[in-house]
């Protein structure tokens, strides 16, 4: 019987407040910190655990993080893909590391703005902070042992209550990556239009992603990256309408609840801040094919595609290819 809790602590407000909630709800509480940098325990983590009077367990995952997240992300970028390091880190580093030290009597608690629907991850009630998308790659065996106490709360209320309780936490909320990416030996290449004509030069495919507008130079009108090809070193640009895709293929699927039959009607979300849209799932050559109900903009190979039934995540995978709506230029 679960009567205790292991709280994944980061030093930020959300996990610190989750720890305070667990102290009220569980018989025995431990805090765990996953060190991904190799720099040891941040003072905020020590202060939070100390103020709560709980045992603090440290897991050194710095080497695995370097290999599984940083090097992987840099390789993806060098191939012209758009990685999602945070979703991969949740699945392969942070939640996995905490789950490995979980005792039979404990539930794993995180500060994610998400909820549980049985064995499924469900969207948090705060639409501006919902983090269910970032949990779509986490193994179902880990998810079933998790709870997300902030999922039923609004971020602004969490902030008010944490401040009222004088809980120690890192005041500055970081929305950026927790590491710097380097592309490596990037070679200049050709910038192409949709007719295959060279119209400029770029400084390495790893510096560009589908949908990008900044850093392209002046072409007399607003242009966007519509494709990145690491094989021939080209970056293809076009107008905003050229970013539209009718569908995509997803690989490395992680299922919480696989549809019982295909084709299947679902909702899919192709980026964190993008609204989920209706789509049809089917399998083609052992890969999951996704057909959007209407063309989607800036579908980027390498990004996570989270699959929902209503508000519950039933799976997630990595976008491997897209199907463009129209590759013809007006010119």
Which listed residue (22, 39, 146, 178) is catalytic? 178
**What's the Cα-to-Cα distance from 179 to each of 37, 131, 215, 246, rounded to whole Å?**
9, 20, 22, 34
146 classed as catalytic? no
Are 233 and 190 a contacting pair, CB within 8 Å? Answer: yes
Are 99 and 204 a contacting pair, CB within 8 Å? Answer: no
Are 82 and 300 a contacting pair, CB within 8 Å? Answer: yes
89 classed as catalytic? yes
Which listed residue (89, 146, 248, 305) is catalytic? 89
Are 68 and 79 a contacting pair, CB within 8 Å? Answer: no
Q: How far is CA 128 from the centre of its chain?
A: 15
Residues 6+ apart with CB under 8 A from 260: none
Q: Is 44 helix (H, G, I), strand (E, B) or coil?
A: helix
Cα 279 to Cα 286: distance, rounded to the nearest angstrom: 18
Active-site amino acid positions: 89, 178
């Amino acid at each position: 019987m679960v009567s205790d809790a292991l709280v994944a602590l980061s030093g930020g407000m959300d996990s610190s407040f989750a720890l305070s909630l667990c102290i009220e709800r569980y018989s025995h509480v431990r805090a765990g910190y996953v060190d991904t940098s190799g720099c040891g325990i941040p003072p905020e983590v020590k202060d939070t655990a100390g103020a709560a009077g709980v045992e603090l367990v440290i897991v050194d995952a710095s080497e695995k993080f370097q290999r599984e997240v940083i090097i992987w992300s840099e390789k993806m970028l060098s191939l012209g893909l758009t990685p999602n390091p945070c979703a991969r880190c949740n699945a392969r580093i942070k939640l996995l590391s905490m789950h490995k030290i979980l005792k039979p009597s404990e539930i794993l608690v995180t500060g994610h703005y998400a909820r549980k629907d049985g064995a499924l991850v469900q969207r948090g009630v705060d639409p501006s902070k919902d983090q269910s998308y970032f949990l779509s790659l986490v193994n179902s065996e880990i998810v079933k042992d998790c709870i997300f106490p902030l999922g039923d709360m609004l971020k602004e209320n969490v902030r008010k209550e944490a401040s009222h309780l004088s809980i120690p936490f890192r005041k500055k909320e970081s929305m950026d990556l927790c590491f710097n990416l380097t592309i490596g030996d990037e070679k200049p290449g050709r910038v192409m239009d949709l007719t295959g004509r060279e119209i400029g030069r770029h400084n390495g495919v790893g510096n560009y992603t589908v949908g990008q507008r900044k850093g392209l130079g002046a072409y007399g009108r607003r242009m966007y990256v519509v494709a990145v090809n690491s094989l021939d070193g080209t970056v293809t640009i076009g107008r905003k309408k050229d970013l539209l895709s009718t569908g995509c293929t997803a690989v490395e699927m992680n299922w919480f609840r696989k549809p019982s039959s295909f084709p299947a009607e679902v909702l899919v979300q192709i980026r964190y801040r993008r609204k989920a849209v209706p789509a049809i799932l089917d399998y083609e050559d052992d890969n999951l094919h996704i057909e959007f109900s209407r063309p989607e903009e800036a579908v980027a190979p390498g990004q996570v595609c989270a699959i929902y039934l209503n508000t519950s995540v039933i799976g997630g995978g990595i976008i491997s290819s897209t199907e463009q709506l129209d590759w013809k230029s007006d010119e």
